Structures are given as C-alpha cells and as structure tokens.
C-alpha cells in the first residue's frame, strides 16, 4: 500500500486521498543536481494546458500476467479534460489499455536542461456510443501518424493528474 493511504481509498480517484508528500514530489530523494535549477510541482490545470501543446505522449497499462507495465507512444488530443486516442480494433492498446491506464506527456530542452512532465491516471474506456462520438468536435480527433485505419476511439478520464517542471534562471 502506498505511503499515506488506507486500504479503502481509491488511489486513482483524486478524492479521499492524502496530498502527495511535498518532499517526495520535489525530489528530496534524488541526488543533488546542478545549482540554479528550480523543480516545481504543477497544478492540475497547468498539466492540461501543457498537454494541449503536444500531440505525442505515452500510454501505460498492465497486461495480465506481465510483471511490469507496457508503455507505448501514441498520438492524442485533449477533449473536455480527457485524453482521446485513435487505435485499431485488433491493436495492443485497444486489447489491453481498457480499464485503468496512465498517460504521460512531456517536453524537454536538452540544451537548456529544462522541461516538464505531466501524468494523467484514470479509467481508459472504449467510446462506442454514437451520441458521445458526435459530441467530439469536428477536427478534434487526433490524426494518426501510423498508416492504416485507426477508427476506434479510446478515452482516458483522469482522476489523478500530477506534473513537474524543471527550469533554470
């Protein structure tokens, strides 16, 4: 059980759980880095705002029987504070990501040694209802990078959103 939680709390709901330990989020458990860099914990809305500037992220999920999560790059779009993905009916993401999943997006400047990362964790579900599909604004579905049809829609509805940014003066 993660530190600071009781067995009856849903760690993915974003409610009924203790705030993350500030020292852990600020990297107190890590070795010292270069002087002058500031590590900041990002607010929920800032994570969404930053994620809206990118179109490639990574979805993480567990395949039954595997001892570690599977992490795959995907293109995505933000729609009403949810992450929307397109995939194939027979694809790995469609087969295994439904249920709980995490989605990470980030951006780094290697030269300046700055960047940010946002992590969205929650339910990942297959969108099949025509009414729900029709409420996704035209042009808001991600355009697949991979060739071939990607006509299935998955939506990650995050309960927990966390992020960090490292900046230099």
With bands split at pLDDT 50, 70 and 90, how would you rate the model's confidence at 150? Answer: confident
Q: For the domain that residue 96 is a member of, what is the CATH number?
A: 2.30.110.10
Looking at residue 17, its pLDDT comes to 41
- Between 23 and 3, whose confidence is greater? 23
Q: pLDDT for 8-35, tens place per residue?
A: 455 555 444 445 555 555 555 555 666 7
Percent share of the chain, pLDDT over 90: 52
Q: Is the confidence at residue 5, as pLDDT, over 50?
A: no
Within a domain: 121: yes
* 158: in domain: yes
Q: Range with the lowest mean pLDDT among 27-31, 73-77, 99-103, 165-169?
A: 27-31
Residue 27 placed within a domain: no
Nearby residues of 107 by Cβ (< 8 Å), 6 or more positions away = 50, 53, 54, 115, 116
- Tens of pLDDT, residue by residue over 85-126, are 988 888 889 888 888 999 999 999 999 999 999 999 999 999
**What long-range pairs does 54-59 form, CB within 8 A, spacing at least 24?**
54/105, 54/106, 54/107, 55/142, 56/105, 56/145, 57/83, 57/103, 57/104, 57/105, 57/106, 58/103, 58/104, 58/105, 59/85, 59/93, 59/97, 59/101, 59/102, 59/103, 59/124, 59/156
Find the mean pLDDT for residues 123-139: 86
pLDDT surpasses 90 at 54: yes
Any domain includes 61? yes
In a domain, 29, yes or no: no
The answer, yes or no, to whether residue 6 has pLDDT greater than 60, is no
pLDDT of 130 reads 87
Q: What is the pTM of this model?
A: 0.76
Residue 167 has pLDDT above 80, yes or no: yes
Q: Would you say residue 19 lies in a domain?
A: no
Q: Give the structural domain span for 52.
A: 44-167
Residue 57 lies in a domain: yes
Q: Would you say residue 60 lies in a domain?
A: yes
Count of the separate structural domains present in the chain? 1
Q: In 3D, which of 42, 107, 50 has the Cα closest to residue 78?
A: 50
């Amino acid at each position: 059980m993660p530190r600071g939680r009781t067995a009856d709390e849903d760690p993915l709901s974003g409610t009924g759980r203790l705030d993350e330990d500030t020292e852990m989020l600020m990297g107190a458990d890590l070795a010292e880095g270069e002087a002058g860099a500031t590590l900041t914990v990002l607010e929920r809305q800032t994570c969404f705002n930053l994620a809206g500037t990118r179109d490639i992220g990574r979805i993480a999920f567990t395949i039954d029987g595997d001892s570690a999560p599977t992490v795959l790059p995907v293109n995505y779009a933000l729609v009403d504070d949810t992450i929307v993905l397109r995939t194939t009916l027979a694809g790995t993401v469609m087969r295994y990501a439904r249920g709980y999943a995490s989605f990470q997006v980030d951006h780094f400047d290697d030269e300046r040694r700055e960047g940010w990362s946002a992590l969205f964790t929650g339910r990942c579900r297959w969108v099949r209802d025509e009414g729900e599909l029709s409420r996704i604004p035209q042009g808001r579905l991600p355009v697949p990078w991979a060739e071939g049809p990607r006509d299935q829609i998955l939506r990650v509805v995050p309960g927990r959103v966390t992020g960090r940014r490292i900046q230099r003066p």
